[in-house]
Chains A and B, each alone.
Chain A
Amino acid sequence: MAAPCVSCGAAASYRLFLAGRVSFAREQGLWKAAAAGLQTGTRCQILRLKHSPAVTTKKNVAALRRESYTVDFIKKQIEEFNIGKRHLANMMGEDPETFTQEDIDRAITYLFPSGLFEKRARPIMKHPEEIFPKQRAIQWGEDGRPFHFLFYTGKQSYYSLMHEAYGKVLHVEERQDQLRAKGLFSEKPKTKDPIGSRWLIKEELEEMLVEKLSDQDYAQFIRLLERLSALPCDAAEEEFVGRFRRTVTVQSKKHLIEPLQYDEQGMAFSTGRGNAPWRRGKRKTANAEAVVHGHGSGKIEINGVDYLLYFPVTQDREQLMFPFHFLDRLGKHDVTCTVSGGGRSSQAGAIRLAVARALCSFITEDEVEWMRQAGLLTTDPRVRERKKPGQEGARRKFTWKKR
């Protein structure tokens, strides 16, 4: 595969970052520049000297609170990332020009296999833009005057956005008035895409503006955007509004696992995976496989034994009854299944899941959706929780003795 380039390996090693902040004590430069800029030559040396201890303490506190990265630093990180990407492509034997982010991810999971459960704790290599939190460049120039005209409001990007949006609203209304004056006004009903998208949430907006917002600010902004979108807009305005909408996957979790086998669902071919739907179900540690025949008489056979003998407890039999009862098909199907592992109740749950999945092939799409909402088609994720050291059980602590 990749030729072992040890040198490349060394060079590439420090391109990789663990997720989370990496603190560099480089921000001193920031403040020193600011301090030096503020203090012009009129100040005497003594003052500067006097100020320096205070400045240093202020510096350190600021450093602990907010780790800010200089623009140069970020630029350098980007360069290093790109070089590292090329090295990685070389190592994997692929073309450096067409090495996408997915390829990088695959290469990293290959080179650094990690067994950690938390996905965010595993090694990643991404563009520095995604890793380092967005920072604002210095908002004022050398003479101390801020660049943006709304700097002194505190939330300059938010207010500028509001200003822009309101400007657009006024513009559209002006256009409407003009059209009405000319008599060319036509009431065009607005048909926005009904369900396909949603507004940005507050966190996403904060991320976009690199500023903290309050809930009222956010609500105000959304109201303004709604007002704008209600008016007949141009393409430019649509594009402006579109920046703040995200798509929503319609009909979340479309059940894909239905190779609908509608052929000869019946006793003609009995078992066999090709013909009668054969499905699996799991619960805790129990695994079950069920075959459901159409045109049956309500018999259920588990591991060769009748379900009455296998589950003497009524509760288990009620679990088995649930999918059929839900679809009103109590005496119409025959089930043959095998189950292993787990205990009495988890075996019942596993068979129930397998039977429900198998029944999917016999019924309409709507009924499948109802079953999904009833929770018949979801594997129960609850497993036995591990016992921790220092505690008696998973949650129970040892008896607390005061003395």
Chain B
Amino acid sequence: IMLKGMTRLVSRVHKAKHGEQHVGQHYNISIQELKTVFPHGLPPRFVMQVKTFNEACLMVRKPALELLHYLKNTNFAHPAVRYVLYGEKGTGKTLSLCHIIHFCAKQDWLILHIPDAHLWVKNCRDLLQSTYNKQRFDQPLEASVWLKNFKTANERFLSQIKVQDKYVWNKRESTEKGSPLAEVVEQGIMRVRNATDAVGIVLKELKRQSSLGIFRLLVAVDGVNALWGRTTLKREDKSLIAPEELALIYNLRKMVKNDWQGGAIVLTVSQTGSLFKPRKAYLPQELLGKEGFDTLDPFIPILVSNYNPKEFEACIQYYLENSWLQHEKAHTEEGKKELLFLSNRNPGLLERLCAYL
């Protein structure tokens, strides 16, 4: 493991010092941190790669650096700024998001990470009518899973934050005012029926309290275009459900509005999980639709594009060092040119190609 080349290694600790000159270099995240910070955020192929190489390495790239720069210079008195990462399929939006989340976790922010909003609008087995509001629908499974992951990610905050309202779950259970947020989360995990409401409460509390300045909140949503698209879920009488009628989506929309201070909102739009959107669409305008675009309107778009030649070289070097490319021609110039041509410097495609080399 000591034979890593010079293209790697920015020191682990001082991630705050990522600068322009580090573009193209990989940096390491230890497996322990991975479990705490990303219980549920990484794309599945990356998880497989981590397992194969026994270490997690992310490449430092320009879009992420740009975002980090903005984040470092945010004024927390102003309303939260929205950043939207967009780009073609496979260019690295999700991994850039993960980079930023890691950075913020290191800086001790509270991370509110929804790994894929598309999962909440499709393939839901059980939809319950919401206990809180008769018109909306609950998704107990997804909500409980998310709560579990949220707990793992933000253990230390949950005891610090106190709830500011009293919430009655049912005839026997209720949460008093002033009790830690951990209780709400526990309640949600144990009583799956109330999980969605627990999520709603968590979101509301966090929004309210981040303006107070006790902690900084990072809202990271992947695939935010699911919030304003269409769903494939149907009621018992086979009529379609609009996204607003799902409690999770409704609360999340409130979260993404920039009427609170003390944090930042980083979003990704992706076509990969989206419903009813053409394959070639990648601009925020196309994917969010008119409604979504208007709601998110003042935002900062950040384009994530394919690798530039230096990054491409770095990626190939990384694979070679880990002995991932076994073909004899992989070392040569021609081999690299072939890979270049075939993947056209698209990170996702390159990864898929190399998987079979």
Given contacts A305-B280, A309-B280, contact A317 B341 (CB under 8 A): yes
Distance in Å from the Cβ of B228 to the closest Cβ of chain A? 24
Give Cα A317 to B340, complex, Å: 11
Contact for A330 among B279, B280, B337, B349, CB less than 8 A: B337
Determine the chain B residues whose CB is within 8 A of the CB of A306 once the complex forms. Answer: 344
Asked if A318 and B340 make an inter-chain contact with CB atoms under 8 angstroms apart, the answer reads no
Give Cα A331 to B88, complex, Å: 22
Asked if B338 and A330 make an inter-chain contact with CB atoms under 8 angstroms apart, the answer reads yes
Contact for B338 among A305, A307, A309, A321, CB less than 8 A: A321
- Which residues of B in the span 326-340 have a Cβ within 8 Å of any Cβ on A? 334, 337-338, 340
Give Cα A350 to B346, complex, Å: 25
Task: Verify if A298 is at the interface (C-beta below 8 Å from B).
Answer: yes
Indicate the member of A305, A308, A309, A330 with the most B CB atoms within 10 Å: A308
Determine the chain A residues whose CB is within 8 A of the CB of B337 once the complex forms. Answer: 330-331
Determine the chain A residues whose CB is within 8 A of the CB of B344 once the complex forms. Answer: 306-308
Asked if B280 and A325 make an inter-chain contact with CB atoms under 8 angstroms apart, the answer reads no
Given contacts A317-B342, A321-B341, A331-B341, 17 further A-B contacts (CB under 8 A): A298-B340, A298-B341, A307-B344, A308-B346, A308-B349, A309-B88, A309-B280, A314-B342, A314-B353, A321-B338, A321-B342, A325-B338, A328-B334, A330-B340, A330-B341, A331-B337, A331-B340
- Which residues of A in the span 116-141 have a Cβ within 8 Å of any Cβ on B? none
Give Cα A309 to B348, complex, Å: 13
Determine the chain B residues whose CB is within 8 A of the CB of A321 once the complex forms. Answer: 338, 341-342
Distance in Å from the Cβ of A344 to the closest Cβ of chain B? 13
**What are 15 A-B interface contacts by the 8 Å CB criterion?**
A298-B341, A305-B280, A308-B346, A308-B349, A309-B88, A309-B280, A312-B279, A314-B342, A318-B342, A321-B341, A321-B342, A330-B334, A330-B338, A331-B337, A331-B341
Task: Verify if A159 is at the interface (C-beta below 8 Å from B).
Answer: no
Determine the chain A residues whose CB is within 8 A of the CB of B353 once the complex forms. Answer: 314
Determine the chain B residues whose CB is within 8 A of the CB of A325 once the complex forms. Answer: 338, 341
Determine the chain A residues whose CB is within 8 A of the CB of B338 once the complex forms. Answer: 321, 325, 330
Determine the chain A residues whose CB is within 8 A of the CB of B334 once the complex forms. Answer: 328, 330
Task: Verify if A166 is at the interface (C-beta below 8 Å from B).
Answer: no
Chain B residue nearest to A324 (CB atoms) is: B341
Give Cα A328 to B337, complex, Å: 10
Residue pairs across A and B with CB atoms within 8 Å: the count is 33
Distance in Å from the Cβ of A336 to the closest Cβ of chain B? 15
Indicate the member of B88, B337, B343 with the most A CB atoms within 10 Å: B337
Give Cα A168 to B343, complex, Å: 71
Q: Mark B86-105, 1 if CB is under 8 A from A, else 0.
A: 00100000000000000000
Give Cα A146 to B15, complex, Å: 111
Indicate the member of B280, B338, B341, B344 with the most A CB atoms within 10 Å: B341
Distance in Å from the Cβ of A331 to the closest Cβ of chain B? 6
Give Cα A325 to B279, complex, Å: 29
Give Cα A328 to B280, complex, Å: 31
- Which residues of A in the span 301-337 have a Cβ within 8 Å of any Cβ on B? 305-309, 312, 314, 317-318, 321, 324-325, 328, 330-331
Distance in Å from the Cβ of A313 to the closest Cβ of chain B? 11
Distance in Å from the Cβ of B120 to the closest Cβ of chain A? 27
Determine the chain B residues whose CB is within 8 A of the CB of A308 once the complex forms. Answer: 343-344, 346, 349
Give Cα A312 to B349, complex, Å: 9
Determine the chain B residues whose CB is within 8 A of the CB of A314 once the complex forms. Answer: 342, 353
Give Cα A318 to B353, complex, Å: 12
**9 closest cross-chain pairs (CB), A and B:** A330-B337, A308-B344, A321-B341, A317-B342, A330-B341, A309-B280, A308-B346, A331-B337, A298-B341
Q: Mark A29-71, 1 if CB is under 8 A from B, else 0.
A: 0000000000000000000000000000000000000000000
- Which residues of A in the span 273-309 have a Cβ within 8 Å of any Cβ on B? 298, 305-309
Chain A residue nearest to B346 (CB atoms) is: A308
Chain A residue nearest to B352 (CB atoms) is: A314
Chain B residue nearest to A310 (CB atoms) is: B280
Chain B residue nearest to A318 (CB atoms) is: B342
Determine the chain A residues whose CB is within 8 A of the CB of B279 once the complex forms. Answer: 309, 312
Distance in Å from the Cβ of B334 to the closest Cβ of chain A? 8
Chain B residue nearest to A305 (CB atoms) is: B280
